[in-house]
């Protein structure tokens, strides 16, 4: 440490360190008088990057704890949590100095793309178009508006070079423009006075506001049915925290899917609000971070990674839709933001509120055991009660009036009635594309991805078969790639096909679709806006349609294949099905007119489907809880997944065996405190050309399971050749 930095290097500060003729950014973790034993080289700190540590003390301590909990290297945790450095910052840094305070990033140019179909048609284009070029044109055409380049990248690989080819042919124009300050929510919002609270809301608000004033405010489950007004409770509690000069943080599943919620926050708190989302440019993210860090803003709203926002003097941390799977980070630093919210709030002496209509089993069991306070909003805040749900037994729907096996008589009639009444309907089908399989009727083989062990999904408008795991795409072949017969058939139903089918059958109804193929980022908001304005009669979509949308005109909801998600090889399949169905049902009848819901299913007796249809959380919880307890699955046991992959199958299998053997040699295994399940091939045995094996560590108590996981992590760190392995604490994905 150079003299001039004495006293200025605090934990959580970023410094520049020379490393092999480059400067790298590093985090200060703690000070030492001398190098620890075994360390042979010491680097001299070249300068301090910011005057104030980028992480306030509270946040830094929390991140250290998170790294320990997830057995993940602290450096990677800190890097995942910190905002990116300004470009060129390390270069501009003078020895011993630091970046000028408030130095901001240069404005980031963002490319927008517009199709020029009006002036030229595809057939006039010189030369033939490639698959990816055609795919991009289809996206642009479906959108009918200009699309930021970043969004096109989600659809087509190497989008920029593909676009350059199209621009040369005169089919598109590319324009570089500065980003808006906030591309999502930059519009001004009128302030709204708060409504009078319903009794249950008033009770919950009272309890939470009182807790806020206490030394250890604790954590609460806010269990409120869909439309019960949970958001209003969050608003009140957050207002109270701000009143007490404390900071507040709200985590939501996916910010692009919740423009309405952000709108309501802005209507209440004005612009004193940092909205953190992935569509923000570096500069905006950096700006929001710094304003929070300096205490200019005290309230932040964002998805999973907003957990790490440097909210000053944190007073309340709210996790909305706490059951949602998106709170689990599945790459790099794997963490569960909802669990970490409880950690962070407790450390900071802040109140934690977990809200949901369908709490995760983990959260509800915690509340049941009294480790979380339990507040409930059992009724809707609006005019209509929860909508009645009819279960349509698809085993008895062989001959449907529509002629399609998955549009039953009752659903067909309900859509007709809904349209006649000039209401709106949402149809939920959790499968994008035209058809999930293309199979040869002669040899029986389905067309598979060349690098993953899954079948390709047909996307008919783009004219391709696509892998939903690695994004590989190929034109739809004319003949079976296995036997050469001219006998390929599209099997099953996806949202693209359903959209077309409904548009044809119910013309001139306005049919739209909401899934990742047509809507990413900002255009999600556009579709939802059209739905709210009544410009869409029938909205077809994947689980994107189940989220918190509050559209009074929607009176009908249909789950086209309600049992679909039950087929997953995952102990949480029933829970996820129950949540999806309850949430989608909750979209109906939120306005003045009553709602109606239909679940089409081949498993009408299944507990998850019956409980969702009866809006009976307790019934589902009780049946599911017993099963989990009997089998020792979470929340009644702790689990760590170890996943191994390698380009060579034998290598992957061997590595997994070797890592599992580490655990089998431990005392915690011999004593029966830790079980090893596997290793076995993963349900998706090959992904992007790599073979995948995994095993699970399971036990009643956390400590021995973590001990075993630590031993595995240490073995991985010691080197496992050209295989890769990750340790996933409290895993969610079983694929
Ligand atoms: P949830 O988040 O529980 O699904 P919301 O917070 O979206 O429910 O509330 C559902 C609807 O009820 C919203 O349109 C909201 O404006 C309205 N609402 C909430 N609380 C009240 C209240 N106390 N009085 C009148 N309307 C309310
Ligand atoms: Zn693939």
pLDDT tens-digit readout, 81-91: 988 776 667 76
Q: Which of 195, 199, 201, 229 to mutate to test the pocket of ligand 1 (most atoms within 8 A of CB)?
A: 229
| The domain made up of 389-435+492-627 is a member of CATH 3.40.50.300 | yes
As given in the structure block, the two tokens for residue 226 are 């869909």
Would you call 725 helix, strand, or coil by DSSP? Answer: strand
The pLDDT tens digits of the residues spanning 540-556 come to 999 999 987 889 999 99
Mutate to test the pocket of ligand 1, among 354, 356, 380, 382 (most ligand atoms within 8 A of CB): 382
Ligand 1, atom 27, lies closest to the CA of 381
**Going by C-beta distance under 8 Å and a sequence separation of 6 or more, which residues neighbour residue 623?**
607, 611
Q: Where are the domains of the chain?
A: 3-81, 112-180, 199-377, 389-435+492-627, 638-729
Residue from 231, 261, 357 whose mutation best tests the ligand 1 pocket (most atoms within 8 A of CB): 231
Q: Give the ligand whose atoms come closest to the C-alpha of residue 204.
A: 1
Q: How far is the CA of 686 from the centre of ligand 2 (A)?
A: 9
**Alpha carbon distance 412, 166 (integer Å):** 42
Mean pLDDT of 65-77: 95
Taking CA atoms only, the protein residue closest to ligand 1 atom 5 is 229
- Mean pLDDT value of segment 219-240: 96
Q: Which pLDDT score, from 0 to 100, does residue 92 have?
A: 65
**Residue 227 Cα, ligand 1 centroid: separation in angstroms?**
6
Least reliable range by pLDDT among 105-119, 242-256, 311-325, 354-368: 105-119
Distances (CA, A) of 136 to 107, 141, 172, 468: 27, 9, 10, 17
pLDDT at 77: 95
- In whole angstroms, give the CA distance from residue 152 to residue 471: 13
Taking CA atoms only, the protein residue closest to ligand 1 atom 11 is 227
Number of H helices, E strands in the chain: 21, 28
Cα separation of 698 and 677, whole Å? 8
- Looking at the domain that runs over 199-377, which CATH code has it been given? 3.40.50.300
| pLDDT for residue 119 | 38
Give the number of other Cβ atoms within 10 Å of residue 562's Cβ.
32
Question: Quick one: DSSP state of residue 534?
Answer: T
Pocket probe for ligand 1: among 193, 201, 265, 381, the residue whose CB has the most ligand atoms within 8 Å is: 381
- Cβ(326)–Cβ(720) under 8 Å? no
Residue 229 CA to ligand 1 centre (angstroms):
4
**What is d(CA 673, CA 708) in angstroms, rounded to the nearest whole number?**
10
When mean pLDDT is compared over 25-34, 135-144, 163-172, the highest value belongs to 25-34
Please identify, by atom number, the ligand 1 atom nearest to the C-alpha of residue 228.
Answer: 3
How far does residue 601's CA lie from ligand 1's centre (Å)? 31
Query: What per-residue confidence (pLDDT) applies to 585?
Result: 95
In the predicted model, what is the mean pLDDT of the chain? Answer: 88
The closest ligand to the CA of 448 turns out to be: 2
Q: Which ligand is nearest to the CA of 456?
A: 2
Centre of ligand 2 to C-alpha 445, Å, is 17
User: How does pLDDT run across 582-624, given as a tens digit for each residue?
Assistant: 999 999 999 899 999 999 999 999 999 999 999 999 999 999 9
At residue 512, what are phi and psi to the nearest 5 degrees?
A: -135, 170
Report the nearest-CA residue for atom 15 of ligand 1.
229
Residue 144 confidence (pLDDT): 61
More confident residue, 212 or 520: 212
Q: For ligand 1, atom 24, which residue shows the shortest CA distance?
A: 195
CATH fold of 112-180 reads Arc Repressor Mutant, subunit A (1.10.10)
Which residues lie closer than 8 Å to 474 by C-beta, 6 or more apart? Answer: 131, 456, 464, 465
Q: Quick one: pLDDT at residue 404? A: 83
Q: What is the 692 CA–ligand 2 centroid distance (Å)?
A: 13
177-194 average pLDDT score: 59
Q: Whose CA is nearest to atom 6 of ligand 1?
A: 229
What CA–CA distance (Å, rounded) separates 460 from 155?
15
What does the alpha-carbon distance between residue 189 and residue 172 come to, in Å, rounded to a whole number? 34
* Distance from C-alpha of 656 to C-alpha of 691, rounded to nearest angstrom: 11
Distance CA 485, CA 488 (A): 8
Interatomic CA distance for residues 143 and 138, integer angstroms: 9
From atom 19 of ligand 1, which residue's Cα is the shortest distance away?
229
Determine contact, residues 398/531, Cβ cutoff 8 Å: no
Q: In what order do the strands lie in the sheet with 299-302?
A: 274-276, 299-302, 247-251, 314-320, 351-356, 219-224, 373-377
Interatomic CA distance for residues 261 and 252, integer angstroms: 9
Judging by beta carbons within 10 Å of its beta carbon (0-12, 13-18, 19+), is residue 441 exposed, middle or buried?
Answer: exposed
Query: How far, in Å, is the centroid of ligand 2 from the Cα of 452?
Result: 4
Q: Which ligand neighbours the alpha carbon of 686 most closely? A: 2
Whether the pLDDT of residue 38 is over 60: the answer is yes
- Ligand 1 centroid vs 321 CA: distance in angstroms? 15
Q: Which ligand 1 atom minimizes the distance to the CA of 382?
A: 12
Gap between the Cα atoms of 152 and 147, Å rounded: 7
CA of 455 to the centre of ligand 2 (A): 8
- Are the C-beta atoms of 315 and 244 separated by less than 8 Å? yes
The listed range with the strongest mean pLDDT (113-127, 237-251, 535-549) is 237-251
Confidence at residue 121, expressed as pLDDT on a 0 to 100 scale: 47
Relative to the alpha carbon of 468, which ligand is closest?
2
Q: In angstroms, rounded to a whole number, what is the distance separating the alpha carbons of residues 247 and 705?
A: 36
Q: Which of 232, 354, 386 to mutate to test the pocket of ligand 1 (most atoms within 8 A of CB)?
A: 232
CATH topology of domain 638-729: Alpha-Beta Plaits (3.30.70)
pLDDT grade for 75, boundaries at 50, 70 and 90: very high
Check residue 48 and report its DSSP letter: E
Q: Name the closest ligand to CA 447.
A: 2
- Going from the Cα of 702 to the center of ligand 2, the distance in angstroms, rounded, reads 36
Task: Find the 440 Cα to ligand 2 centroid distance in Å.
Answer: 19
Mean pLDDT, range 250-277, rounded to an integer: 87
CB-based contact 483:501 (threshold 8 Å): no
Contact predicate 663/711, CB 8 Å: yes
- Per-residue pLDDT for 97 more than 90? no
Phi, psi dihedrals of residue 46, rounded to the nearest 5°:
-90, -25
Per-residue model confidence (pLDDT) at position 130? 81
Tokens of 590: 């939120």
pTM equals 0.87
Which of the four pLDDT bands, split at 50, 70 and 90, describes residue 662?
A: very high
- How far from chain centre, in Å, is Cα 448? 27
pLDDT of residue 94: 52
Residues 6+ apart with CB under 8 A from 712: 642, 659, 662, 663, 697, 725, 727
| Residue 364 neighbours by CB under 8 Å, 6+ apart | 221, 223, 617, 621
Residue 619's pLDDT is what? 96
Hey, what's the torsion of the CAs at 314, 320, 324, 329, to 10 degrees?
-20
Equal fold, 199-377 vs 389-435+492-627: yes
Q: Closest ligand 1 atom, CA of 357?
A: 3
Q: Classify residue 513 by its DSSP letter.
A: E
549 or 324, which is more confident: 324
The answer to whether the beta carbons of residues 25 and 90 sit under 8 Å apart is yes
Which atom of ligand 1 is closest in space to residue 201's alpha carbon? 23
Split at pLDDT 50, 70, 90, the class of 439 is: very high
Residue 531: partners with Cβ closer than 8 Å, 6 or more residues away: 424, 512, 539, 549, 551, 554
- Residue 638: predicted pLDDT: 93
Fold of 3-81: GIY-YIG endonuclease (3.40.1440)
Two tokens, residue 477: 């072949």
Residue 518 has pLDDT above 90, yes or no: no
| 381 CA to centre of ligand 1 in angstroms | 5
Whether the link from the prior residue into 593 is cis, omega within 30° of 0, is no
Q: Which ligand is nearest to the CA of 193?
A: 1
In the β-sheet with 638-646, what is the strand arrangement from edge to edge?
Answer: 675-687, 690-699, 638-646, 724-729
HEC string of 162-178?
Answer: HHHHHHHCCCEEEEEEE
Angle in degrees, 0-180, between the axes of helices 337-348 and 57-69, rounded to the nearest 10: 140
Which of the 8 DSSP states describes residue 572?
Answer: T
Residue 34 tokens, joined: 């001398």
What's the rounded Cα separation, in Å, for the pair 693 and 649?
Answer: 9
Nearest of 391, 414, 390, 393 to residue 402 by alpha carbon: 414
Please state, for a pLDDT cut of 90, what percent of the chain lies above it: 64
Q: Using 50, 70 and 90 to split pLDDT, how confident is the model at 143?
A: low
Helix (H, G, I), strand (E, B), or coil: what is residue 11? coil
Higher pLDDT, 422 or 140: 422
Centre a 10 Å sphere on the Cβ of residue 665 and count the other Cβ atoms it contains: 10
Nearest CA to ligand 1 atom 10: 227
The sign of the dihedral angle between the CA atoms of 80, 82, 84, 88 is negative
At 198 the pLDDT is 95
Please name the residue ranges forming H helices in 213-281: 230-243, 259-269
**Spacing, Cα 320 to ligand 1 middle (Å):** 14
Cβ partners under 8 Å of residue 570, min gap 6: 576, 734, 735
Report residue 504: phi and psi, to 5°. Answer: -70, -50
Distance (Å, whole) CA 647 – CA 181: 44
Ligand 2 centroid – CA 471 distance (Å): 6
Is the pLDDT confidence value at 102 over 60? Answer: no
* Å from CA of 201 to ligand 1 middle: 10
Q: Tally Cβ neighbours within 10 Å of residue 259.
A: 19
Residue with tokens 């249809």: 613
Instruction: Please name the residue whose Cα sits nearest to atom 4 of ligand 1.
Output: 227
Contact (Cβ atoms closer than 8 angstroms) between residue 201 and residue 381: yes
Ligand 1 pocket by Cβ (under 6 Å)? 195-198, 201, 224, 226-232, 381-382, 548, 550
Atom of ligand 1 at shortest distance to CA of 198?
23
């Amino acid at each position: 440490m150079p003299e001039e930095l004495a006293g200025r290097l605090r934990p959580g500060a970023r410094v520049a360190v020379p490393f092999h003729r480059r400067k790298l950014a590093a985090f200060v973790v703690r000070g030492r008088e001398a190098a620890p034993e075994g360390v042979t080289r010491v680097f001299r700190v070249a300068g301090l990057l910011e005057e104030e540590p980028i992480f306030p003390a509270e946040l830094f301590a929390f991140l250290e704890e998170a790294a320990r909990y997830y057995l993940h290297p602290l450096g990677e945790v800190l890097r995942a949590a910190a905002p990116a450095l300004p470009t060129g910052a390390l270069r501009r840094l003078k020895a011993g100095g630091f970046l000028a305070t408030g130095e901001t990033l240069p404005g980031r140019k963002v490319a927008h793309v517009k199709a020029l179909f009006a002036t030229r048609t595809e057939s006039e284009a010189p030369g033939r178009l490639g698959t990816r070029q055609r795919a991009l044109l289809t996206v642009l055409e479906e959108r009918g508006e200009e699309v930021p380049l970043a969004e096109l990248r989600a659809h087509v690989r190497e989008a920029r070079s593909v676009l350059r080819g199209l621009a040369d042919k005169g089919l598109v124009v590319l324009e570089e423009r500065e980003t808006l300050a906030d591309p999502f929510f930059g519009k001004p919002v009128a302030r709204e006075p708060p409504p009078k609270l319903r009794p249950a809301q008033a009770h919950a608000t009272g309890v939470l506001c009182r807790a806020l004033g206490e030394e250890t405010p604790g954590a609460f489950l806010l269990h409120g049915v869909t439309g019960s007004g949970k958001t209003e409770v969050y608003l009140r509690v957050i207002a109270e925290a701000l009143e007490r000069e404390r900071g507040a943080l709200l985590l939501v599943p996916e910010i692009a899917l919740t423009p309405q919620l952000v709108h309501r926050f802005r209507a209440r708190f004005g612009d004193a609000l940092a909205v953190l989302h992935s569509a923000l440019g570096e500069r905006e993210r950096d700006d929001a971070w710094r304003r929070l860090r300096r205490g200019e803003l005290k309230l932040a709203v964002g998805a999973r990674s907003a957990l790490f926002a440097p909210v000053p003097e944190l007073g309340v941390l709210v996790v909305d839709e706490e059951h949602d799977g998106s709170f689990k980070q599945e790459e790099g630093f794997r963490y569960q933001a909802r669990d970490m919210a409880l950690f962070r709030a407790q450390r900071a002496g802040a109140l934690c509120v977990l809200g949901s209509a369908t709490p995760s089993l983990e959260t509800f069991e915690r509340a049941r055991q009294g480790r979380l306070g339990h507040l409930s909003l059992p009724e809707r805040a609006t005019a209509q009660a929860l909508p009645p749900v009819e279960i349509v037994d698809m085993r008895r729907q062989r001959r449907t009036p529509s002629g399609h096996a998955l549009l039953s008589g009752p659903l067909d009639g309900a859509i007709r009635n809904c349209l006649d009444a000039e209401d709106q309907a949402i149809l939920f089908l959790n499968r994008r594309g035209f058809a999930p399989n293309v199979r040869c009727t002669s040899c029986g083989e389905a067309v598979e991805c060349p690098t993953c062990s899954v079948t390709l999904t047909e996307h008919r408008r783009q004219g391709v078969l696509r892998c939903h795991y690695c994004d590989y795409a190929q034109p739809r072949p004319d003949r079976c790639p296995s036997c050469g017969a001219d006998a390929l058939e599209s099997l099953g139903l996806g949202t693209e096909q359903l959209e077309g089918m409904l548009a044809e059958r119910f013309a001139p109804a306005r049919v739209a679709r909401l899934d990742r193929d047509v809507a990413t980022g900002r255009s999600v908001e556009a579709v939802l806006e059209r739905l709210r304005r009544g410009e869409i009669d029938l909205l077809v979509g994947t689980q994107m349609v189940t989220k918190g949308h509050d559209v009074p005109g929607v009176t009908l909801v249909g789950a086209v294949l309600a049992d679909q998600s039950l087929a997953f090889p995952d102990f949480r399949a029933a829970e996820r099905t129950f949540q999806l169905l309850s949430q989608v049902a909750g979209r109906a009848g939120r306005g003045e007119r009553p709602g109606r819901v239909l679940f089409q299913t081949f498993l009408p007796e299944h507990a998850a489907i019956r409980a969702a249809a009866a809006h009976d959380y307790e019934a589902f919880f009780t049946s599911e809880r017993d099963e989990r307890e009997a089998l020792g699955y979470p929340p009644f046991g702790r689990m760590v997944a170890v996943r191994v992959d390698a380009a060579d199958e034998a290598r992957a299998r061997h590595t997994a065996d070797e890592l599992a053997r580490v655990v089998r040699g431990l005392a915690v295994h011999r004593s029966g405190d830790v079980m090893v399940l596997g290793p076995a091939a993963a349900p998706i045995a090959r992904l992007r050309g790599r073979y995948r094996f995994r095993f699970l560590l399971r036990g009643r108590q956390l400590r021995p399971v973590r001990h075993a996981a630590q031993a595995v992590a240490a073995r991985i760190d010691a080197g496992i050749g050209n295989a890769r392995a990750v340790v996933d604490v409290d895993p969610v994905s079983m694929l």
